[in-house]
Amino acid sequence: MVHTHSPANAPNASLAPQAWISRFATPLAGRDAGPLRGKTFAVKDNIDVAGLPLTAACPAFSRTPAQHATVVQRLLDAGAAVVGKTNLDQFACGLNGTRSPFGAVPNAFHADCVSGGSSSGSAYAVATGQTDFALGTDTAGSGRVPAGLNNIVGFKPSKGLVSCQGVLPAAQSMDCVSIFARTVALAAQVLEAAMGFDPHDPFSRRLALHTEAFPARFRFGIPDTLNFEGDTRAEAAFQHAIHQLTTLGGAPVRIPYAPLAQAATLLYESALVAERYAAVRDFLDAHEAEVIEPVRGILAKGRSMGAADVFEAQRQLRALAQEADAMWSTIDVLLVPTAPTHYTIDAMRADPVQLNRNLGAYTNFVNLLDYAALSVPSSLRDDGLPFGITLIGPCASDWQLADLGQRFHHATGLPQGATGLPLPAPQPIAALRSTPTVQIAVVGAHLSGMPLNTQLTTRGGICLQSTHTAPDYRVGIEKPWKPAWNLVFL
Protein backbone atom coordinates (compact mmCIF):
# COMPACT_ATOMS: atom_id res chain seq x y z
CA MET A 1 0.00 0.00 0.00
CA VAL A 2 1.23 3.47 -0.91
CA HIS A 3 0.34 6.80 0.68
CA THR A 4 0.59 9.86 -1.56
CA HIS A 5 0.35 13.59 -0.98
CA SER A 6 -1.59 16.01 -3.13
CA PRO A 7 -0.36 19.27 -4.66
CA ALA A 8 -0.55 22.34 -2.48
CA ASN A 9 -3.83 23.56 -4.00
CA ALA A 10 -5.62 20.33 -3.13
CA PRO A 11 -7.67 19.63 0.04
CA ASN A 12 -5.62 19.27 3.25
CA ALA A 13 -2.51 20.37 1.38
CA SER A 14 -1.93 23.15 3.89
CA LEU A 15 -0.66 20.58 6.38
CA ALA A 16 3.03 21.20 7.00
CA PRO A 17 5.66 20.06 6.56
CA GLN A 18 5.37 19.00 2.93
CA ALA A 19 8.51 16.88 3.05
CA TRP A 20 6.98 13.75 1.54
CA ILE A 21 5.30 13.15 -1.81
CA SER A 22 4.64 9.42 -1.45
CA ARG A 23 5.40 6.75 1.14
CA PHE A 24 5.09 3.03 1.62
CA ALA A 25 2.60 2.07 4.33
CA THR A 26 5.49 0.13 5.86
CA PRO A 27 9.12 0.63 4.76
CA LEU A 28 10.26 -1.52 1.86
CA ALA A 29 12.91 -3.70 3.46
CA GLY A 30 16.09 -4.83 1.79
CA ARG A 31 18.19 -7.88 2.55
CA ASP A 32 18.08 -9.38 6.01
CA ALA A 33 21.83 -8.91 6.31
CA GLY A 34 24.20 -6.19 5.26
CA PRO A 35 26.17 -3.21 6.55
CA LEU A 36 23.06 -0.98 6.51
CA ARG A 37 20.69 -3.45 8.12
CA GLY A 38 18.19 -1.68 10.36
CA LYS A 39 18.69 1.71 8.67
CA THR A 40 15.85 3.51 6.91
CA PHE A 41 16.17 5.98 4.08
CA ALA A 42 14.17 8.41 1.98
CA VAL A 43 14.58 8.99 -1.74
CA LYS A 44 14.26 12.30 -3.56
CA ASP A 45 11.37 12.09 -6.01
CA ASN A 46 13.52 12.30 -9.11
CA ILE A 47 15.04 8.87 -8.40
CA ASP A 48 13.23 5.64 -9.33
CA VAL A 49 11.75 3.49 -6.59
CA ALA A 50 9.71 0.60 -7.99
CA GLY A 51 6.07 0.82 -6.96
CA LEU A 52 6.12 4.54 -6.11
CA PRO A 53 5.36 7.26 -8.67
CA LEU A 54 8.15 9.53 -9.82
CA THR A 55 6.80 13.06 -10.19
CA ALA A 56 9.87 15.32 -9.98
CA ALA A 57 7.36 17.62 -8.19
CA CYS A 58 5.31 17.90 -11.38
CA PRO A 59 2.10 15.83 -11.14
CA ALA A 60 1.53 15.87 -14.92
CA PHE A 61 4.94 14.23 -15.40
CA SER A 62 4.17 11.36 -13.02
CA ARG A 63 5.11 7.80 -13.97
CA THR A 64 5.61 4.66 -11.90
CA PRO A 65 8.86 2.79 -12.63
CA ALA A 66 9.01 -0.99 -12.72
CA GLN A 67 12.47 -1.23 -11.18
CA HIS A 68 14.63 0.63 -8.73
CA ALA A 69 17.40 3.00 -9.68
CA THR A 70 20.78 1.32 -9.36
CA VAL A 71 21.66 3.31 -6.23
CA VAL A 72 18.39 2.37 -4.52
CA GLN A 73 18.86 -1.29 -5.33
CA ARG A 74 22.41 -1.26 -3.96
CA LEU A 75 21.24 0.25 -0.69
CA LEU A 76 18.44 -2.32 -0.38
CA ASP A 77 21.00 -5.04 -1.06
CA ALA A 78 23.08 -3.57 1.78
CA GLY A 79 20.15 -4.12 4.17
CA ALA A 80 18.56 -0.66 4.31
CA ALA A 81 14.79 -0.09 4.02
CA VAL A 82 13.25 2.66 1.90
CA VAL A 83 10.44 4.71 3.48
CA GLY A 84 9.23 6.80 0.55
CA LYS A 85 9.79 9.68 -1.86
CA THR A 86 10.52 13.25 -0.81
CA ASN A 87 9.58 16.68 -2.08
CA LEU A 88 11.92 18.83 -4.17
CA ASP A 89 12.17 21.96 -6.24
CA GLN A 90 10.42 20.98 -9.45
CA PHE A 91 12.68 19.06 -11.86
CA ALA A 92 15.51 19.63 -9.34
CA CYS A 93 15.68 23.23 -10.53
CA GLY A 94 16.33 25.40 -7.50
CA LEU A 95 18.26 25.66 -4.25
CA ASN A 96 15.51 26.83 -1.91
CA GLY A 97 12.74 24.22 -1.45
CA THR A 98 9.77 26.46 -2.36
CA ARG A 99 9.38 25.57 -6.05
CA SER A 100 6.94 22.70 -5.70
CA PRO A 101 3.18 22.34 -6.17
CA PHE A 102 3.28 19.98 -3.18
CA GLY A 103 4.20 22.93 -0.96
CA ALA A 104 7.30 24.59 0.40
CA VAL A 105 9.41 22.44 2.72
CA PRO A 106 10.25 24.48 5.83
CA ASN A 107 13.54 24.69 7.62
CA ALA A 108 13.80 22.09 10.39
CA PHE A 109 14.76 24.80 12.92
CA HIS A 110 12.47 27.64 11.89
CA ALA A 111 9.32 26.96 9.87
CA ASP A 112 9.28 30.46 8.38
CA CYS A 113 12.67 29.91 6.69
CA VAL A 114 13.54 27.94 3.58
CA SER A 115 14.89 24.43 3.87
CA GLY A 116 17.18 24.80 0.91
CA GLY A 117 16.79 22.73 -2.23
CA SER A 118 16.34 21.15 -4.49
CA SER A 119 16.64 18.12 -2.17
CA SER A 120 14.44 19.82 0.42
CA GLY A 121 12.31 16.91 1.62
CA SER A 122 15.26 14.55 1.92
CA ALA A 123 17.15 17.00 4.14
CA TYR A 124 14.10 17.68 6.31
CA ALA A 125 13.39 13.96 6.81
CA VAL A 126 16.95 13.39 8.04
CA ALA A 127 17.21 16.55 10.15
CA THR A 128 14.00 15.74 12.02
CA GLY A 129 14.93 12.09 12.58
CA GLN A 130 12.23 10.60 10.34
CA THR A 131 14.84 8.52 8.51
CA ASP A 132 18.44 7.57 9.20
CA PHE A 133 19.69 8.88 5.87
CA ALA A 134 18.33 10.05 2.54
CA LEU A 135 19.26 10.30 -1.11
CA GLY A 136 19.27 13.61 -2.91
CA THR A 137 20.76 14.79 -6.15
CA ASP A 138 23.31 17.52 -6.66
CA THR A 139 23.93 19.43 -9.87
CA ALA A 140 24.52 22.95 -8.55
CA GLY A 141 24.45 22.42 -4.78
CA SER A 142 21.15 20.61 -4.16
CA GLY A 143 22.85 18.02 -1.98
CA ARG A 144 24.75 20.59 0.09
CA VAL A 145 22.66 23.74 0.60
CA PRO A 146 19.80 21.88 2.39
CA ALA A 147 22.38 20.15 4.61
CA GLY A 148 23.97 23.45 5.62
CA LEU A 149 20.63 25.07 6.38
CA ASN A 150 19.38 22.12 8.49
CA ASN A 151 22.42 21.11 10.60
CA ILE A 152 23.11 17.80 8.85
CA VAL A 153 25.80 16.26 6.66
CA GLY A 154 25.54 16.48 2.88
CA PHE A 155 28.01 14.29 0.95
CA LYS A 156 28.42 15.22 -2.74
CA PRO A 157 30.59 12.45 -4.20
CA SER A 158 32.92 12.75 -7.14
CA LYS A 159 31.00 12.68 -10.41
CA GLY A 160 30.43 9.19 -11.75
CA LEU A 161 31.22 7.48 -8.45
CA VAL A 162 27.56 6.67 -7.73
CA SER A 163 25.37 5.51 -10.62
CA CYS A 164 22.72 7.88 -11.94
CA GLN A 165 20.89 5.10 -13.79
CA GLY A 166 17.24 5.54 -12.87
CA VAL A 167 17.74 9.20 -11.91
CA LEU A 168 15.79 11.79 -13.90
CA PRO A 169 18.51 14.05 -15.29
CA ALA A 170 18.76 17.72 -14.45
CA ALA A 171 21.99 18.36 -16.35
CA GLN A 172 23.25 14.85 -16.94
CA SER A 173 26.96 15.52 -17.38
CA MET A 174 27.02 17.26 -13.98
CA ASP A 175 24.48 15.29 -11.95
CA CYS A 176 25.47 13.41 -8.81
CA VAL A 177 23.45 11.35 -6.35
CA SER A 178 24.11 12.85 -2.93
CA ILE A 179 23.73 11.52 0.61
CA PHE A 180 22.20 13.19 3.66
CA ALA A 181 22.88 11.87 7.16
CA ARG A 182 23.25 13.21 10.68
CA THR A 183 26.85 11.97 10.95
CA VAL A 184 29.75 11.78 8.54
CA ALA A 185 30.37 8.17 9.54
CA LEU A 186 26.93 7.04 8.33
CA ALA A 187 27.17 9.12 5.14
CA ALA A 188 30.50 7.45 4.37
CA GLN A 189 29.05 4.02 5.11
CA VAL A 190 26.17 4.70 2.72
CA LEU A 191 28.55 5.93 0.03
CA GLU A 192 30.62 2.76 0.33
CA ALA A 193 27.51 0.65 -0.23
CA ALA A 194 26.18 2.82 -3.07
CA MET A 195 29.28 3.46 -5.15
CA GLY A 196 30.56 1.41 -8.06
CA PHE A 197 30.82 1.46 -11.84
CA ASP A 198 27.54 0.95 -13.70
CA PRO A 199 27.69 0.22 -17.46
CA HIS A 200 24.06 1.35 -17.75
CA ASP A 201 24.99 4.92 -16.79
CA PRO A 202 26.91 6.67 -19.60
CA PHE A 203 28.56 9.01 -17.11
CA SER A 204 29.63 6.34 -14.63
CA ARG A 205 33.39 6.16 -14.03
CA ARG A 206 35.84 3.72 -12.49
CA LEU A 207 37.46 5.98 -9.94
CA ALA A 208 40.34 4.98 -7.68
CA LEU A 209 39.66 7.00 -4.54
CA HIS A 210 42.56 8.22 -2.43
CA THR A 211 42.91 6.03 0.64
CA GLU A 212 45.51 7.98 2.61
CA ALA A 213 44.17 9.56 5.79
CA PHE A 214 43.87 13.32 5.64
CA PRO A 215 47.11 14.80 7.02
CA ALA A 216 47.18 16.00 10.61
CA ARG A 217 48.66 19.29 9.44
CA PHE A 218 47.19 20.78 6.29
CA ARG A 219 46.51 23.94 4.32
CA PHE A 220 42.96 25.04 3.71
CA GLY A 221 41.91 27.61 1.15
CA ILE A 222 39.62 30.54 1.93
CA PRO A 223 38.12 32.66 -0.87
CA ASP A 224 39.79 36.06 -1.08
CA THR A 225 36.34 37.61 -1.50
CA LEU A 226 33.36 36.59 0.62
CA ASN A 227 29.78 37.86 0.48
CA PHE A 228 27.26 36.97 3.18
CA GLU A 229 24.52 39.20 1.75
CA GLY A 230 24.69 41.42 4.81
CA ASP A 231 24.19 38.54 7.25
CA THR A 232 26.60 39.39 10.07
CA ARG A 233 25.67 36.22 12.00
CA ALA A 234 26.74 34.05 9.06
CA GLU A 235 29.94 36.04 8.64
CA ALA A 236 30.82 35.58 12.31
CA ALA A 237 29.98 31.88 12.11
CA PHE A 238 32.35 31.43 9.18
CA GLN A 239 35.16 33.18 11.04
CA HIS A 240 34.53 30.79 13.93
CA ALA A 241 34.75 27.85 11.50
CA ILE A 242 38.13 29.10 10.28
CA HIS A 243 39.31 29.16 13.89
CA GLN A 244 37.95 25.65 14.49
CA LEU A 245 39.72 24.26 11.42
CA THR A 246 42.93 25.95 12.51
CA THR A 247 42.78 24.26 15.90
CA LEU A 248 42.50 20.92 14.07
CA GLY A 249 45.89 21.50 12.44
CA GLY A 250 44.95 23.65 9.45
CA ALA A 251 46.73 26.69 8.11
CA PRO A 252 44.48 29.15 6.23
CA VAL A 253 45.56 30.27 2.76
CA ARG A 254 43.76 32.94 0.73
CA ILE A 255 42.95 31.75 -2.78
CA PRO A 256 41.64 33.76 -5.75
CA TYR A 257 37.91 33.09 -5.95
CA ALA A 258 37.31 34.82 -9.29
CA PRO A 259 37.77 31.74 -11.54
CA LEU A 260 35.46 29.69 -9.33
CA ALA A 261 32.81 32.40 -9.30
CA GLN A 262 33.08 32.88 -13.06
CA ALA A 263 32.71 29.15 -13.63
CA ALA A 264 29.61 29.15 -11.41
CA THR A 265 27.89 31.76 -13.57
CA LEU A 266 28.23 29.53 -16.65
CA LEU A 267 25.77 27.04 -15.19
CA TYR A 268 22.74 29.25 -15.82
CA GLU A 269 24.12 32.30 -17.65
CA SER A 270 25.61 30.48 -20.64
CA ALA A 271 24.59 27.90 -23.22
CA LEU A 272 25.28 25.17 -20.65
CA VAL A 273 21.69 25.71 -19.49
CA ALA A 274 20.66 23.91 -22.68
CA GLU A 275 21.48 20.63 -20.95
CA ARG A 276 18.68 21.28 -18.47
CA TYR A 277 16.26 21.85 -21.32
CA ALA A 278 17.46 18.67 -23.06
CA ALA A 279 16.69 16.60 -19.95
CA VAL A 280 12.92 17.28 -20.15
CA ARG A 281 12.57 18.64 -23.69
CA ASP A 282 9.78 16.36 -24.87
CA PHE A 283 7.64 16.96 -21.80
CA LEU A 284 8.28 20.71 -21.66
CA ASP A 285 7.47 21.24 -25.33
CA ALA A 286 4.17 19.35 -24.99
CA HIS A 287 3.12 20.46 -21.48
CA GLU A 288 4.82 23.78 -20.80
CA ALA A 289 1.82 25.12 -18.89
CA GLU A 290 2.20 22.28 -16.35
CA VAL A 291 5.63 23.55 -15.30
CA ILE A 292 5.67 26.24 -12.61
CA GLU A 293 7.62 29.48 -12.74
CA PRO A 294 10.45 30.25 -12.44
CA VAL A 295 11.34 26.65 -13.39
CA ARG A 296 9.57 26.97 -16.73
CA GLY A 297 11.56 30.05 -17.71
CA ILE A 298 14.90 28.52 -16.69
CA LEU A 299 14.30 25.33 -18.68
CA ALA A 300 12.84 27.12 -21.72
CA LYS A 301 15.92 29.35 -21.88
CA GLY A 302 17.82 26.36 -23.27
CA ARG A 303 15.68 26.29 -26.43
CA SER A 304 17.47 29.29 -27.91
CA MET A 305 20.98 27.92 -27.47
CA GLY A 306 22.77 26.65 -30.56
CA ALA A 307 25.50 24.03 -30.82
CA ALA A 308 28.18 26.68 -31.39
CA ASP A 309 27.04 28.47 -28.21
CA VAL A 310 27.44 25.27 -26.21
CA PHE A 311 30.95 24.64 -27.53
CA GLU A 312 31.94 28.20 -26.68
CA ALA A 313 30.62 27.78 -23.14
CA GLN A 314 32.55 24.53 -22.79
CA ARG A 315 35.73 26.28 -23.96
CA GLN A 316 35.24 29.01 -21.39
CA LEU A 317 34.71 26.41 -18.70
CA ARG A 318 37.89 24.54 -19.58
CA ALA A 319 39.92 27.75 -19.45
CA LEU A 320 38.49 28.61 -16.03
CA ALA A 321 39.10 25.06 -14.81
CA GLN A 322 42.78 25.28 -15.67
CA GLU A 323 43.04 28.61 -13.88
CA ALA A 324 41.18 27.33 -10.82
CA ASP A 325 43.12 24.07 -10.57
CA ALA A 326 46.30 26.01 -9.83
CA MET A 327 45.03 26.50 -6.27
CA TRP A 328 45.57 22.80 -5.48
CA SER A 329 49.33 23.37 -5.55
CA THR A 330 48.98 25.65 -2.52
CA ILE A 331 46.15 24.02 -0.53
CA ASP A 332 44.96 20.57 0.50
CA VAL A 333 41.28 21.43 0.83
CA LEU A 334 39.01 24.41 0.11
CA LEU A 335 36.74 25.80 2.83
CA VAL A 336 33.60 27.76 1.92
CA PRO A 337 30.28 28.57 3.58
CA THR A 338 27.71 26.03 2.44
CA ALA A 339 25.24 28.91 2.04
CA PRO A 340 25.87 32.60 2.73
CA THR A 341 22.65 33.27 4.62
CA HIS A 342 19.12 32.14 5.51
CA TYR A 343 15.98 33.46 3.81
CA THR A 344 12.35 33.32 4.82
CA ILE A 345 9.92 31.49 2.58
CA ASP A 346 8.03 34.73 1.97
CA ALA A 347 11.18 36.58 0.94
CA MET A 348 12.16 33.77 -1.43
CA ARG A 349 8.75 33.79 -3.11
CA ALA A 350 8.95 37.57 -3.51
CA ASP A 351 12.35 37.42 -5.24
CA PRO A 352 12.76 33.80 -6.35
CA VAL A 353 15.56 34.18 -8.90
CA GLN A 354 18.06 36.48 -7.19
CA LEU A 355 17.74 34.99 -3.71
CA ASN A 356 18.06 31.48 -5.13
CA ARG A 357 21.19 32.57 -6.98
CA ASN A 358 22.62 33.91 -3.73
CA LEU A 359 22.18 30.53 -2.03
CA GLY A 360 24.37 28.91 -4.70
CA ALA A 361 27.23 31.38 -4.44
CA TYR A 362 29.60 28.74 -3.03
CA THR A 363 28.19 25.59 -4.62
CA ASN A 364 27.52 26.07 -8.35
CA PHE A 365 31.11 25.62 -9.53
CA VAL A 366 31.87 22.28 -7.84
CA ASN A 367 30.42 19.81 -10.34
CA LEU A 368 31.38 22.00 -13.29
CA LEU A 369 35.02 21.73 -12.20
CA ASP A 370 34.82 18.02 -11.25
CA TYR A 371 35.43 18.37 -7.51
CA ALA A 372 34.13 16.37 -4.54
CA ALA A 373 32.45 18.14 -1.62
CA LEU A 374 31.20 17.50 1.90
CA SER A 375 28.94 19.88 3.80
CA VAL A 376 29.10 19.52 7.58
CA PRO A 377 27.42 21.41 10.41
CA SER A 378 29.58 24.11 11.95
CA SER A 379 27.54 26.00 14.56
CA LEU A 380 24.12 27.16 15.69
CA ARG A 381 23.79 30.93 15.48
CA ASP A 382 22.40 33.03 18.32
CA ASP A 383 19.08 33.22 16.44
CA GLY A 384 18.83 29.41 16.56
CA LEU A 385 19.50 28.83 12.85
CA PRO A 386 22.25 26.46 11.68
CA PHE A 387 25.42 27.42 9.86
CA GLY A 388 27.29 24.86 7.77
CA ILE A 389 30.62 24.78 5.99
CA THR A 390 31.67 22.81 2.93
CA LEU A 391 35.01 21.09 2.45
CA ILE A 392 35.91 20.77 -1.23
CA GLY A 393 38.63 18.61 -2.72
CA PRO A 394 39.79 17.36 -6.13
CA CYS A 395 38.05 14.45 -7.81
CA ALA A 396 38.56 11.16 -5.91
CA SER A 397 39.30 12.85 -2.55
CA ASP A 398 35.98 11.66 -1.10
CA TRP A 399 37.32 9.56 1.77
CA GLN A 400 39.83 12.20 2.79
CA LEU A 401 37.06 14.80 2.93
CA ALA A 402 35.09 12.41 5.12
CA ASP A 403 38.08 11.99 7.43
CA LEU A 404 38.56 15.73 7.93
CA GLY A 405 34.82 16.41 7.94
CA GLN A 406 34.22 13.97 10.77
CA ARG A 407 37.03 15.50 12.82
CA PHE A 408 35.55 18.96 12.31
CA HIS A 409 31.93 17.93 12.96
CA HIS A 410 32.67 16.13 16.22
CA ALA A 411 34.78 19.01 17.48
CA THR A 412 31.72 21.28 17.27
CA GLY A 413 29.72 19.41 19.92
CA LEU A 414 26.53 20.07 17.96
CA PRO A 415 23.41 17.90 18.25
CA GLN A 416 22.30 15.58 15.46
CA GLY A 417 20.19 17.64 13.07
CA ALA A 418 17.12 19.05 14.81
CA THR A 419 16.67 15.99 17.03
CA GLY A 420 18.52 17.37 20.07
CA LEU A 421 20.42 14.09 20.37
CA PRO A 422 24.18 14.26 20.96
CA LEU A 423 26.58 13.03 18.31
CA PRO A 424 27.62 9.40 18.77
CA ALA A 425 31.28 8.47 18.99
CA PRO A 426 33.14 9.04 15.70
CA GLN A 427 34.00 6.01 13.62
CA PRO A 428 37.08 5.32 11.51
CA ILE A 429 36.48 5.84 7.79
CA ALA A 430 36.66 2.19 6.75
CA ALA A 431 38.00 2.78 3.25
CA LEU A 432 41.05 4.69 4.48
CA ARG A 433 44.27 2.87 5.25
CA SER A 434 44.08 1.91 8.88
CA THR A 435 46.45 3.60 11.28
CA PRO A 436 47.06 2.56 14.88
CA THR A 437 44.89 4.41 17.39
CA VAL A 438 44.68 4.54 21.15
CA GLN A 439 42.13 5.94 23.58
CA ILE A 440 43.62 8.18 26.24
CA ALA A 441 42.13 10.18 29.11
CA VAL A 442 43.48 13.70 29.56
CA VAL A 443 43.13 16.36 32.25
CA GLY A 444 44.32 19.89 32.77
CA ALA A 445 45.73 21.93 29.90
CA HIS A 446 45.01 19.22 27.31
CA LEU A 447 41.23 19.51 27.78
CA SER A 448 39.06 20.86 24.97
CA GLY A 449 39.43 24.63 24.77
CA MET A 450 42.63 24.63 26.85
CA PRO A 451 46.09 25.77 25.64
CA LEU A 452 47.61 22.32 25.01
CA ASN A 453 44.55 20.76 23.36
CA THR A 454 46.05 21.44 19.91
CA GLN A 455 48.78 18.89 20.69
CA LEU A 456 46.01 16.31 20.36
CA THR A 457 43.86 17.79 17.59
CA THR A 458 46.77 18.46 15.23
CA ARG A 459 47.60 14.76 15.44
CA GLY A 460 44.10 13.74 14.45
CA GLY A 461 42.71 13.39 17.96
CA ILE A 462 38.93 13.51 18.33
CA CYS A 463 37.17 14.10 21.64
CA LEU A 464 34.97 11.07 22.29
CA GLN A 465 33.57 11.94 25.70
CA SER A 466 33.76 14.57 28.43
CA THR A 467 32.95 13.98 32.09
CA HIS A 468 34.07 14.74 35.68
CA THR A 469 36.00 12.76 38.24
CA ALA A 470 34.42 11.41 41.42
CA PRO A 471 33.52 13.99 44.11
CA ASP A 472 36.14 12.67 46.55
CA TYR A 473 39.05 12.68 44.08
CA ARG A 474 42.24 14.19 45.61
CA VAL A 475 45.62 15.12 44.18
CA GLY A 476 47.78 15.79 47.23
CA ILE A 477 45.72 18.75 48.40
CA GLU A 478 43.45 19.25 51.36
CA LYS A 479 40.21 20.09 49.52
CA PRO A 480 38.41 17.73 47.10
CA TRP A 481 39.17 18.56 43.47
CA LYS A 482 36.79 17.94 40.56
CA PRO A 483 38.84 18.17 37.38
CA ALA A 484 37.07 17.54 34.08
CA TRP A 485 38.56 15.02 31.70
CA ASN A 486 38.22 14.07 28.04
CA LEU A 487 38.41 10.67 26.43
CA VAL A 488 40.28 11.15 23.17
CA PHE A 489 40.52 8.95 20.08
CA LEU A 490 44.06 9.50 18.76
Element (H, E) at 340: none
Other C-beta atoms lying within 10 Å of the C-beta of residue 247: 15
Half-sphere exposure at residue 144, Cβ-oriented, CA atoms within 13 angstroms:
32
118 part of the active site: yes
d(CA 91, CA 238): 31
End-to-end Cα spacing for the chain: 49
CB 385 within 8 A of CB 113: yes
44 part of the active site: yes
What phi-psi label fits residue 191: left (phi over 0), alpha (psi between -120 and 50 degrees) or beta?
A: alpha
For 109-133, b where at least 16 C-beta lie within 10 A, e where not — what string?
Answer: bbeebbbbbbbbbbbbbbbbebbbb
CB 357 within 8 A of CB 258: no
d(CA 403, CA 428): 8
For 89-101, b where at least 16 C-beta lie within 10 A, e where not — what string?
Answer: bbbbbbbbbbbbb
Nearest to 205 by CA among 157, 160, 158: 160
d(CA 272, CA 192): 31
d(CA 166, CA 69): 4
Q: Count each helix (H run) and each strand (E run) in the chain, helices first.
A: 15, 15
- Identify the burial level of 13 via C-beta atoms within 10 angstroms of its C-beta, where 0-12 means exposed, 13-18 middle and 19 or more buried: middle
Nearest to 113 by CA among 24, 233, 13: 233
Counting every residue, how long is the chain?
A: 490
Over its C-alpha atoms, the chain yields an Rg (Å, rounded) of 22
d(CA 67, CA 76): 12
Q: Which among 142, 375, 378, 397 is annotated as catalytic?
A: 142
Cα dihedral sign for 264, 266, 269, 275? Answer: negative
Q: Which among 22, 115, 118, 178 is annotated as catalytic?
A: 118
Other C-beta atoms lying within 10 Å of the C-beta of residue 369: 19
Q: Which residues are catalytic?
A: 44, 118, 142
